[in-house]
Amino acid sequence: IRKAVTEATANKPDFHAIENELNVIAGVLLGNTQLVVIAESSMSMAMAYQNLLSNLPLEITLVNDGLEALSILLKRKYDILITGKALKTLNGVALINALRASDSANTHINTIMLTTSTNFQFPKNVCLPEYVILRDTQLSEKLPATVLKIIESK
């Protein structure tokens, strides 16, 4: 808290070091629990995804609006973003690109995009999600396997 007060009164405040220290403290408190944001316009689908991931060491935050997801992701360090393509206010592609362009702790967050489209084309000159998973009959296997792959790669 003292560091934050000192930094707040500086000519050019820079809170990155304080944010990094808070992230280290959060990591110690959470152990190997991964922080995940699921951004999905349908809360019933978001809860279904949460249920698919219930056996993994995750703390999941559910949101149904891309702008709300961005606001959350700019305030706290998360490990994984799972997003649908179509969201309220800000779509999944725009959300990922806003994070990549930000100077936040989540600039390099692992991203998974879920889509129903089998021929989905990303616009040119955008940052792509690391993983794209179809919402099909194999989703219940692919989503947990992909999240586990991300967790194990850390």
pLDDT band at 25 (very low <50, low <70, confident <90, very high): low
pLDDT at 61: 97
Buried b (16+ CB within 10 A) or exposed e, 67-98: bbbbebbeebbbbbbbbbbebeebbbbbbbbb
pLDDT of residue 33: 86
CA distance 60 to 79: 10
pLDDT in tens, 58-92: 999 999 999 999 999 999 999 999 999 889 889 99
Backbone angles phi, psi at 21, to 5 degrees: -65, -40
- Are 72 and 37 in contact by the 8 Å Cβ rule? The answer is yes
Give the angle subtended at the CA of 60 by the CAs of 56 and 65, to the nearest 5°.
Answer: 140
Token pair listed for 7:
């930094």
Q: Which two tokens stand for residue 46?
A: 């978001």
Q: What is the pLDDT of residue 98?
A: 95
**Residues pairing with 63 in the sheet:** 39
> Is 97 a residue whose pLDDT tops 70?
yes
26 confidence band (pLDDT: 50, 70, 90): low
The structure's pTM equals 0.80
pLDDT per position as a tens digit, 108-146: 999 999 998 877 777 788 888 999 999 999 999 999 999
pLDDT at 30 over 70: no
Provide the greatest CA pair distance for the chain: 56
